[in-house]
Structure 1
Amino acid sequence: MHAFHSSIPVRAEGCAQIAPLDDFLVFAASGADALGFLHGQLTQDVTGLPRDAARLAGYCTAKGRLLATLVMWRAAPGADDAPQLYGLVRQDLAQALLKRLSMFVLRAKAKLAATPLHVAGVTASATDVAALEAAAGALPREPWQRADLPSGTWIAAPSADARLRWWWIASDEQLEQSAALAGALGLAPAAQWHAADLAAGIPWITAATQDVFIPQTVNLDLIQGVSFTKGCYPGQEVVARSHYRGTVKRRMAYGTIADAAIQGQALAGMDVYDASQPGEPTGRIVDAASAQGAVSVLFETTLAALPEGDLRLGAADGPRIAAAALPYSITP
Structure 2
Amino acid sequence: MTDSSAFSAAAAPSSRAQAAPLGHLAVLQAQGADAVEFLHGQLTQDVKSLDASHARLAGYCTAKGRLLATAVVWRQPAEEPAIRALVDAGVAPAWQKRLSMFVLRAKVRIAPLPLQAFGVSAGPAALAALATGAGAELPRAAWARAELPSGTWIGAPAAGAALRWWWLAEAGREGALAGAADPAPAEAWRAADIAAGLPWITAATQDLFIPQTLNLDLAGGVSFTKGCYPGQEVVARSHYLGKLKRRSFAGLVRAGVADPSALPPADIFHDGDAQPCGRVVNAADTASGTALLFECTLAAAHAGGLRLGAPDGLAIELQALPYALGEDAA
The amino acid across from 1:89 in the alignment is V
How far 1:254 moved relative to its partner? 0.3
Distance in 2 (CA, whole Å) between partners of 1:15 and 1:272 is 38
Aligned to 2:291: 296
The amino acid across from 1:189 in the alignment is P
Select which of 213, 218, 230 maps to 2:209.
Answer: 213
Aligned to 2:91: 93
Aligned to 1:147: 146
**What secondary structure does 2:172 align onto?**
helix
How far 1:50 moved relative to its partner? 1.8
- Matched ranges for 1:32-51 at <5 A: 32-51=33-52
Distance in 2 (CA, whole Å) between partners of 1:291 and 1:151 is 30
- Matched ranges for 1:177-326 at <5 A: 178=176, 181-276=177-272, 278-326=273-321
Query: Cα deviation per residue 1:168-218 (whole Å; 9 max; x = unaligned)?
Result: 001013336x2xx21111001101100000000000000000000000000
**What secondary structure does 1:307 align onto?**
helix
Are 2:14 and 2:126, in contact at CA under 8 Å, matched by a contact in 1? no
- Same amino acid, percent of matched pairs: 56
Greater Cα offset, 292-301 or 190-199: 292-301
Distance in 2 (CA, whole Å) between partners of 1:224 and 1:235 is 17
- Structure 2: state its 5+ residue gaps: 1-12
**What secondary structure does 1:253 align onto?**
strand
Greater relative CO (CA pairs within 8 A, separation 6+): 2
Distance in 1 (CA, whole Å) between partners of 2:114 and 2:215 is 30
Aligned to 1:16: 17
Distance in 1 (CA, whole Å) between partners of 2:45 and 2:90 is 22
Aligned to 1:170: 169
Greater Cα offset, 126-135 or 54-63: 126-135
How far 1:107 moved relative to its partner? 0.3
Aligned to 1:27: 28
The amino acid across from 1:207 in the alignment is A
Aligned to 1:129: 127
**What secondary structure does 1:221 align onto?**
coil
Aligned to 1:7: none
Are 2:14 and 2:122, in contact at CA under 8 Å, matched by a contact in 1? no
The amino acid across from 2:66 in the alignment is R
- Structure 1: state its 5+ residue gaps: 1-11
The amino acid across from 1:32 in the alignment is A
Select which of 100, 109, 116 maps to 2:114.
Answer: 116
Q: What is the alpha-carbon root mean square deviation over aligned residues?
A: 1.3
Superposition TM-score, scaled by structure 1 size: 0.92
Superposition TM-score, scaled by structure 2 size: 0.92
Distance in 2 (CA, whole Å) between partners of 1:21 and 1:309 is 33
Aligned to 1:4: none
Aligned to 1:103: 101
How far 1:308 moved relative to its partner? 3.0
